Amino acid sequence: MTSLQRVLTTLGQKEPDRVPLFLLLTMHGAKELGMSIKEYFSKGENVAEGQIRLRKKYGHDCYYAFFYAPIEVEAWGAEVIYLEDGPPNSGNPIIKDAKEILKLSPPSVKGNAALEKNLKCIEILKTSGEEEVPIVGVVMSPFSLPVMQMGFEKYLLLMYEEPEIFEHLMKINEEFIVSWANAQLEAGATAITYFDPVSSTSIIPRELFLKTGYQIAKRTLARINGPTAVHMASGRCLPIIDDLAEVGTAIVGTSVLEDLSEVKAACSKLLTVLGNLNGIEMCRWTKKEAEDAVKSAIVKAATGGGFILSDNHGEIPFQVTDEIIMTIAETARSYGKYPLKK
Amino acid sequence: MKDITYRFEKALLNLDKVEARRLLDRVGNNFKPLDLVSKIVVPALERIGDAWQDGSVALSQIYMSGRICEQLIDELLPPSSDKRKHQPKMAIAVLDDFHFLGKRIVHSHIRSAGFEIKDYGRKTVDELVSSITEDDIDVIFISTLMYPSALNVQHVKEKLSVAAPKVKIVVGGAPFNMDTKLWQQVGADAMGHDGGEALKYINKMMEE
């Protein structure tokens, strides 16, 4: 099977030849190319080359066209702060006062330097494959984007205390994120990961999610012209699994804080589970611990398909060694062969 | 009193500041402000923190609960009040990171318990060590979201072990929640999942 066939089969709740593996590697591409993280992310060509080399090395089942979390706010003019050994951060929020939201307008995707380099990467990946490999594009949800646009504390207060301005911001963000997601699909992305950590019950209670993140996801995903995965970026999703099954997504990315077998059962073949290797512990895993973690995840969630093995956050830390990544890949290939060993 | 504490906790989770204030007012004549804090506010915040750990309460509720409590207690015990607890000398900082919500939550929980604590904002390793030694701090709370920032706690530890070896380091934030051995790896004295655990650490220290 090709990687794409493997993934489509599991999405159809059937068992492919082996458990699909998404190694959501971002900064490791810089290591492959011998570049700093800042230089690596400065060009789409670099990231495309990094993704091609990483897949050749580890043999996993996707290209991950994700640059860094603040790329969307960079498109709005925000500063991006680069680290030597970690993912780029967003700098000072672009919205200092909630009243500024009323004058805000979204940037155009076309011609925006930050977004264009990401699209360039996707275009190169689309034309480079020897076989069909899913290209995973990424957006931050309109509901979670304000954490970087205005800071988490101000955003929570906006959500609770200024509902009209909150709704206004959501409308602006929805327009932008729909355009951004569809531009990635047009460039060649196979699917879009919709990162929505604020919707996680780790961050807001279900009652508030149903009034906010749920409605926004439903509206936004309906306008994205391709398949999507909703990812909570380490946050919990179990209490809202039934709700997520209604927002129009195919995959849910789950947290290591939740039991994978419980999440799989709750998905009831309506959603495919993506997860949930502990990316932070991975930094200090021995080979044996990496093998055990992969085997445990497969035992808990792989039977019958509907499962893609991955980390729980949507980005493997820079500190995870090549040896551990290789162990994860090799164990997934050998232990994850269907039919699974009893 | 248990009933009042329970209802106070419910009021916080419902973001009902009016009801929370009414409950404190109702028993206020029988207790000194610091007793109200220790018998009602702190137990409620600790229970909310425990509920966050088991996944039944969300971060937004913890944040809003702490904010309401801080406002209520500031009215009972203004920052200038000599009844506020100024020992141990504490400070809180975000280390090399740009994510402030965790610090804000722990800061408001500690102040809600009647303690004073310096807010250092964001600091690099050297800036933090310098502030701690200048202010003669006893306990430093360090909040991080990014993994590299969490690893940098070990550099703070190394420098403090020379400059101010008695300072206790308490860490918190996502990397420490995800890897429960990480706080020991970086040389911290304790880790807290939430503001309630920060309070438990302070109270334990006060008893010793």
ipTM of the complex as predicted = 0.93
pLDDT of residue B68: 95
pLDDT tens string B2-12: 889 999 999 99
Contact (CB, 8 A) for B140 and B169: yes
For B90-207, CATH number out of 3.40.50.280, 3.30.70.2340, 1.10.3720.10, 1.20.120.1630 equals: 3.40.50.280
CATH 1.10.1240.10 domain position(s) in chain B = 2-76
Is B2-76 a domain of CATH 1.10.1240.10?
A: yes
pLDDT tens sequence across B99-146 = 889 999 999 999 999 999 999 999 999 999 999 999 999 999 999 999
The residue of A26, A200, A208, A280 whose CB has the most chain B CBs within 10 angstroms, and thus the best one to mutate to test that interface, is A280
B1 to chain A, any CB pair closer than 8 A? The answer is no
Which residues from B are below 8 Å from A256, CB to CB?
178
For A54, the domain range is 3-335
Please give the biggest Cα pair distance in chain A. Answer: 60
pLDDT of residue B170: 97
Say how far apart CA A77 and CA A288 lie, in whole Å.
45
pLDDT of residue A130: 66
The residue among A27, A84, A89 with the most chain B CBs within 10 A of its CB, best to mutate, is: A89
Nearest-Cα distance to chain B for A211, in Å, is: 15
Domain count of the fold of chain A: 1
Chain B CB contacts of A278 under 8 Å are 178-179
Residue A223, φ and ψ in degrees, nearest 5: -100, 0
Average pLDDT in chain B: 93
Q: Provide, as residue numbers in chain B, all residues whose Cβ is less than 8 Å from the Cβ of A202.
A: 55, 58-59
Domain with CATH 3.40.50.280 in chain B: 90-207
Collapsing DSSP to helix, strand or coil, A230 comes out as strand
Is pLDDT of B173 > 70? yes
Over residues B158-167, the mean pLDDT reads: 97
Q: Which residues contact A186 (CB under 8 A, 6 or more apart)?
A: none
Q: What is the pLDDT of residue A78?
A: 95
> In the prediction, which pLDDT does B28 show?
83
Q: Name residues whose C-beta falls within 8 Å of residue B142's C-beta, 6 or more positions apart in sequence.
A: B92, B93, B94, B95, B128, B153, B156, B169, B170, B171, B172, B188
pLDDT bin (cut points 50, 70, 90) of residue B207 is confident
Q: Assign residue A178 the CATH number of its domain.
A: 3.20.20.210
Do A89 and B175 lie within an 8 Å CB cutoff?
no
User: What's the confidence (pLDDT) of residue B76?
Assistant: 86
B55/A239 Cβ within 8 A? yes
Which of B 84-113 lie inside 8 A of A, CB atoms?
Answer: 97-101, 104
Nearest residue in chain A measured CA to CA from B105: A153
Using CB atoms, pick whichever of B58, B175, B181 lies closest to residue A204: B58
Cα torsion angle, B25, B29, B30, B32, sign: positive
Choose among A81, A202, A318: nearest Cβ to B58. Answer: A202
Whether cis (ω within 30° of 0) applies to the bond prior to B175 is no
Task: Determine, for residues B63 and A280 on separate chains, whether the beta-carbon distance falls below 8 Å.
Answer: no
- Asked if A279 and B100 come within 8 Å (Cβ–Cβ), the reply is no
Residue A195: per-residue pLDDT: 98
In a domain, A341, yes or no: no
Which of chain B's residues have a Cβ under 8 Å away from the Cβ of A159? 60
Structural domain contains residue A342: no
Among B98, B100, B177, select the one facing A153 at the smallest CB separation: B100
Q: What is the pLDDT of residue A203?
A: 96
Largest CA distance in chain B: 51
Distance, CA of A326 to CA of A336 (rounded, Å): 15
Contacts of A160 in chain B (CB under 8 A): 15, 60, 64
Alpha carbon distance A65, A46 (integer Å)? 11
The verdict on B182 touching A (C-beta cutoff 8 Å) is yes
Per residue of chain A (342 residues), give pLDDT as tens: 999 999 999 999 999 999 999 999 999 999 999 999 999 999 999 999 999 999 999 999 999 999 999 999 999 999 999 999 999 999 899 999 999 999 999 999 999 999 999 999 999 999 997 679 999 999 999 999 999 999 999 999 999 999 999 999 999 999 999 999 999 999 999 999 999 999 999 999 999 999 999 999 999 999 999 999 999 999 999 999 999 999 999 999 999 999 999 999 999 999 999 999 999 999 999 999 999 999 999 999 999 999 999 999 999 999 999 999 999 999 999 999 999 987
Contact B63/A at CB under 8 A: yes
Q: What is the mean pLDDT of residues B164-170?
A: 97
- The pLDDT assigned to B121 comes to 95
Query: For B50-103, how does the pLDDT look when each residue is reduced to its tens digit (9 = 90+)?
Result: 999 899 999 999 999 999 999 999 888 887 788 888 789 999 999 988 888 999
Q: CA distances (Å), B86 to each of B105, B140, B144, in order? A: 19, 14, 25
Measured in angstroms, the CA of A274 and the nearest CA of chain B are apart by 18
B145 touches chain A (CB under 8 A): no
